[in-house]
Amino acid sequence: QKEVEQNSGPLSVPEGAIASLNCTYSDRGSQSFFWYRQYSGKSPELIMFIYSNGDKEDGRFTAQLNKASQYVSLLIRDSQPSDSATYLCAVNERSPSGGGADGLTFGKGTHLIIQP
Amino acid sequence: DADVTQTPRNRITKTGKRIMLECSQTKGHDRMYWYRQDPGLGLQLIYYSFDVKDINKGEISDGYSVSRQAQAKFSLSLESAIPNQTALYFCATRDRGTDTQYFGPGTRLTVL
């Protein structure tokens, strides 16, 4: 059974600092990796996705993927109070554009608190 | 306008009642999903559909059924609601090119 593990937190980070969120996954066949942000009672919204080993940057966000270690992380630079939310890691075992049998497997999320 | 919409947004019902949650999308995606979310348990896949004629069970389909009326519409039914089906329900679509899933705003369902 595919599993995605995240530390539930809460992870408390001072405003302006770097927040580091981590995720491990069990299925070595995983090909697509996603980070979603979810505010309490709201729907998950996509932050970014990554397919290849290494870093991918988008504004204040950087996703890092290490397939050998089955590890994906999200860095948030210059953290703002509005970044306070639960961050969900999700993986898919299929390659991009290759379809997929059963959707994404989600971790339970890490609750991030940015302290003003 | 929202790309993925869900109705109703909130619903309170009683044990044993039949209830339908509806999802519509204007993203043009052929793949649609229903998830439920419980506090501390994350998102769990109930059903998914690749097109109108292709519907598949997810990890927690017992007690639920679905209908794909058109490419843009995917409904979730609880034939006889029970209290442990109280949860937040999300519909999602999937972009085949990026594998990204896009979520609707959710339906908060309470079964008394």
pLDDT tens sequence across B31-66: 999 999 998 778 999 999 999 999 999 989 999 999
Regarding beta strands B19-25 and B10-13, do their DSSP bridges make them parallel or antiparallel, or are they unpaired?
unpaired
Chain B residue numbers with beta carbons less than 8 Å from the beta carbon of A102 are 45, 48, 56, 58
Regarding beta strands A11-14 and A110-115, do their DSSP bridges make them parallel or antiparallel, or are they unpaired?
parallel
Task: Determine the pLDDT at residue A94.
Answer: 61
Task: Determine the pLDDT at residue A96.
Answer: 53
The pLDDT tens digits for A81-116 are 999 999 999 998 665 555 555 678 899 999 999 999
Which of the two residues, A107 and B96, has the higher pLDDT score?
A: A107
Structure tokens at B13: 């019902």
A40 touches chain B (CB under 8 A): no
Q: Is the pLDDT of residue B1 over 80?
A: no
Chain B residue numbers with beta carbons less than 8 Å from the beta carbon of A29 are none
Task: Determine the pLDDT at residue A37.
Answer: 97
Alpha helices in chain A (DSSP H): none
B48 touches chain A (CB under 8 A): yes
Percentage of residues of chain A with pLDDT beyond 70: 91
Mean pLDDT, residues A24-43: 92
The pLDDT tens digits for B64-89 are 999 999 999 999 999 999 999 999 99
Q: Is the pLDDT of residue A11 over 70?
A: yes
Q: CB under 8 Å to A99, separation ≥6 — which residues? A: B96
For the ranges A26-30, B12-16, B39-43, B48-52, the lowest mean pLDDT is seen at B39-43
In B1-112, beta strands by DSSP E: 4-7, 10-13, 19-25, 31-38, 42-51, 54-57, 64-70, 73-78, 87-94, 101-103, 107-111
Q: CB under 8 Å to B54, separation ≥6 — which residues? A: none
C-alpha to C-alpha distance for B19 and B24, rounded to whole angstroms: 17
Q: State whether A43 and B94 contact (CB < 8 Å).
A: no
